[in-house]
Structure 1
Amino acid sequence: MSPELDREVPVLLVKVGHYPQSYSTLGVVRSLGRLGVPVHAMVEDRYTPTALSRYLARAVVRPSTGREPPGQLLAGITAAAQAVGRRSVAVATDDEAAVLLAEHAAELSPYLLLPPVAASLPRRLADKGGLYGLCRAHGVAAPHSGAAGSREELVVLARELGYPVVLKNLAPFARLRRPAVGHTTKVADEAELLAACPADGGVLVQEYLPAESAQDWFTHLCCGPGGTPLAVFTGRKYRSWPPDGGVTVRAAAEPNPELASLAAEFCRRIGYCGTADLDWRFDLRDGRYKLVDFNPRVGAQFRLFETVRGVDVVRALHLDRTGRPVPQGPQLERDFVVGQLDLMTSVASRSLPARLPRQPRRSRQRAWLSADDPVPALAEAARFGGRAVAHLARSTGTQARAALIRRAA
């Protein structure tokens, strides 16, 4: 069963930054395209996996790095929206796009149907320090955190929290323009801390919740005006890439009424409207769910979640923005896997289980493979293989140079 969407209203996937191998954008194209909604997507080039999907109405080639001036990025979004030819529902696939859409809603509203979220809220939620402040203000548990503006503050905060600690880029756009760390990074001591953050500022230092004493959960949801929950889903994260904190590569949809209520109530209190992806850690030591990240946009693994009525978060968004009711119903229980990245994580993290327990009644959602849309998986395999070969060549070259230096010494 699938909801009746308004096929006369198209969708535009809005993105900022260079990530051509995104399975979240492909998921949006397949989810809405299969129901007959015309989906247009901003892409880096015409050969990205998303651009090659049979369900994509149009690939709008608008490459960006995220380091461009805001005015230039906004002009690119406006041009893409105008190219669609009709006012369309906007779906942000990264934090920076969500921030721009909210802060420039008045300018973009002639071309895009946007959720009525407060202009400043997505930026505050995407900022790790801003999120921590909102959690404290609204009584939501979160790992103890602090923003470091200098290396001296970095050292002091890490000592106060106690090693190991987790380092994250603090704010949207900064992670693209001047990243403090390459990705979420766990450091064991001060030497690793200083090596991981050679530059001043722009980093969040966060309390580390030990893997043996915690469970990784997430909530994906779509809220209407005023933070009214339209669809709320919960699931467990079992593996990620990189292993210590990255994108989900193996997960399972698991109903968790307590967590669903916690996420929905937080969004209601802050008045959040639109799609969101929230990462939580359940701390087994005190029995509390602690909010780790709030991504004010569609999550990478959102296609893990769907109700028995055929509703996922982007379908809920389209229904809401076109004035249609969102059918309610329990979520399906199924698994999600990102093939090659899951294999890499399995090899790199031998302490984790090799696979999730399989249950006959559970279906499996794959990030890339799809019998009715095979070309994107082939394109991803080609790009992934090229990256793997390049990475291996760099590693081999580095090892060879090190060997030569040792021999010369």
Structure 2
Amino acid sequence: MTEAGRPPAVILGGSFNSLSVARALGRQGIPVHALGDGAGGSLVSHSRYLRSYLDVASSATAADEWMAWLRTGPRGAVLLPCSDGALEFIARHRAELVEMGYCPAASADEVTLAMLDKERTYELARAVGVPAPRTAAVSTVDEVRKAGAAMDFPCALKPRHSHLFARAFGSKALIVDDAEELEAAFRATNEHGLEMIVTEIIPGDDSRYCSYYSYLDDDGTPLFHFTKRKPRQNPPGFGLGTFHVTDWVPDAAELGLRFFTGVGLRGVGNVEFKRDSRDGQLKIIECNPRFTAADKLVQRAGIDMATISYRRALGLPVTAPTTFRRGVTQWHPVEDWHAFRAYRALGQLSTVSWLRSLARPTGLPMFDPRDPRPSSVYAVAFAQRGLRFTRRRLASLIAGRRSR
């Protein structure tokens, strides 16, 4: 395929990552379309680089609505997944999508589906020599009781499929302090028909989280090596990153590449680890074979995964990055404020240390002076939520005084 024509890109699902992908490609003159995933309020829909946006009714109907749109969509377009649901959609429908004339992002589909299953991910990690937490898949109350007896508390009840769990509970995991809480948490998840695992919590504070990113070509050759740290997340322990910093973490790169090559991953890959305070080993937490919420950080550090993925899907050559900028940060101000307060309450972070970490130029996940509308829309929505909260608090205080 030649450079002429610049085939469109269609982004499926996502949030911050879909916005960074749209900007990276749109700035090159590539027509970009985005299909929502029912999460609501997608910021990418406000980007100047978007040609069209499909707002789907709900995450449960997203796959059907995507397929309906694609039946009349721009043939020859590259399909780029930005959510777990999108990964599953492409993995299960690749042949049909190719027959329709699309170019789905490269991946080993069976591996992708395995990465969407946390228990299968851990099984594969152990098989290729990558340390993993102790886990137990559970489907009955008896299995939960047996797993609880073998675990140290606190432990976590995690979903095998995160995107299905998030629809019902809006979090990554349920932390439990004893066997009674574990059983109650399992009963709650079981009502939604979710497959769950009981997992140990790797000890150590959140500064021990780090990640490895790469893109593996068709023959398994990594096109680049990138690592970062995630010092803070909200909520602490099992949350979304609120402050990231690029850094070279050699053992994360070594273990990450061992995992990717061992399981046969192709295309974009991200694997997260946590360093165990008991033995100093990195233990795998999860693998995301797609763009993540830190995609803009990776771009700012010098690696444009969106363009690499787009070009490889079209069979075009890419110039592989040989290095990346270290010390680049990404800060989510509102979320990090809540994280800071939680860490401070736990005695893990002082005000001075928090402010010191911010005393350098940092990047914001949404703001781009060339494309200001998404961050403006977010700021207005945040101000409106704050105003509604203030009004409710004032009304509650006034009602309380009147009742005295």
Q: TM-score, normalised by structure 1?
A: 0.83
Counterpart selection for 2:308 from 316, 322, 326: 316
Could you tell me which residue of structure 1 aligns to residue 158 of structure 2? 168
For residues 52 and 127 of structure 1, what CA distance do their matches in structure 2 show? 33
Name the CA distance, whole Å, in 2 between partners of 1:53 and 1:357. 30
Larger displacement relative to structure 2 (93-102 or 151-160): 151-160
- 1:75–1:270 Cα change, 3 Å: same
1:220 Cα deviation after fit: 2.5
Sort the Cα spacing of 1:56 and 1:106 in 2 relative to 1 into closer, same or farther, 3 A: same
**1:296 corresponds to 2:296:** no
1:29-44 mapped onto 2 (5 Å cutoff): 29-43=22-36
CA deviations 1:26-66 (Å, max 9, x no partner) are 1111222222222211135997421111122222233332x
**Uncovered stretches (5+) of structure 2, i.e. residues with no partner:** none
The answer to whether the aligner puts 1:102 opposite 2:91 as a matched pair is yes
- 1:8-407 equivalences under 5 Å are 8-15=6-13, 22-43=15-36, 48-65=42-59, 67-68=60-61, 73-109=62-98, 110-171=100-161, 174-175=164-165, 182-199=171-188, 200=190, 202-212=195-205, 215-306=208-299, 310-322=302-314, 323-333=316-326, 334-350=328-344, 351-352=348-349, 353-355=353-355, 357=357, 364-387=362-385
Q: Note the C-alpha offset of 1:205.
A: 1.2
Identity %: 25
Gaps of 5+ in 1: none
Give yes or no for contact 1:5–1:319 (8 Å, CA) kept in 2.
no
In 2: Cα distance, 1:117 partner to 1:47 partner: 29
The 3 A distance-change label for structure 1 pair 74 and 254 is same
Q: Cα gap change, 1:326/1:242 in structure 2, threshold over 3 Å: closer, same or farther?
A: same
| 1:83-127 deviations in Å (ceiling 9; x for gaps) | 542312211111121012012100011342124433322121111
Question: How far does residue 221 in structure 1 lie from its aligned partner after superposition?
Answer: 2.4
Return the letter of the residue paired with 2:357.
P
The one-letter amino acid of 1:319's match is R
Amino acid at match of 1:209: I
Deviation at 1:5, TM superposition (A): 7.8
TM-aligned CA distance change 1:144 to 1:391, over 3 Å: farther
Q: How many residues align?
A: 386
| Residues 80, 105 of structure 2: 8 Å contact kept | no
In structure 2, C-alpha distance between the alignment counterparts of 1:74 and 1:163, rounded to whole Å: 38
Conserved 8 A contact 1:166-1:205: yes
1:76: how far off?
2.2
Q: Secondary structure at the match of 1:57?
A: strand
2:396 and 2:146 map into 1 onto residues whose CA distance is 34
In the TM superposition, residue 143 of structure 1 has moved relative to its aligned partner by 1.0
Question: Structure 1 residues 210, 383: CA separation in 2 closer, same or farther (over 3 Å shift)?
Answer: same
Whichever residue aligns with residue 364 of structure 2, its letter is: R
Shift, 1:135, TM fit: 0.9
